[in-house]
Amino acid sequence: MKKAANLEIETICPLHGPILTDTIPEVLRLYNLWSTYQPEDEGVFIAYASIHGNTAQAALKMKEILEQRAVRELQLQTFQGMTLRNVLKMHSVTAHSYVWHQAMMQRICTYE
């Protein structure tokens, strides 16, 4: 990026994706952030998956606690709706998921 900083870049032709011409300054800014592991925003992104609603309750509780601690930028979303941009954008990311295997739990709960 340091070598390219002094160049007047008019077009970026990646090996995949669209050819870029109009958004070059923004693309270079974001690339510089992401390649140095810097967040776009100082915030927290909470992703979760919840079959029975319990993990969703835990994620909501985490959001509530963070709001009480005055975290300004805070996003809560299911894994199904999240994008890589959500993950790269935030300073901190937390993921919640619980796997329940009913037959296994019945054996564990009745084991003596």
Where are the domains positioned within the chain? 1-38, 40-112
Model pLDDT, residue 107: 43
User: Which residues in the chain show pLDDT less than 50?
Assistant: 104-112
Sign of CA dihedral 13, 17, 22, 26: negative
Model pLDDT, residue 98: 59
Question: Could you tell me which CATH class the domain 40-112 is placed in?
Answer: alpha beta
This model's pTM is above 0.75: no
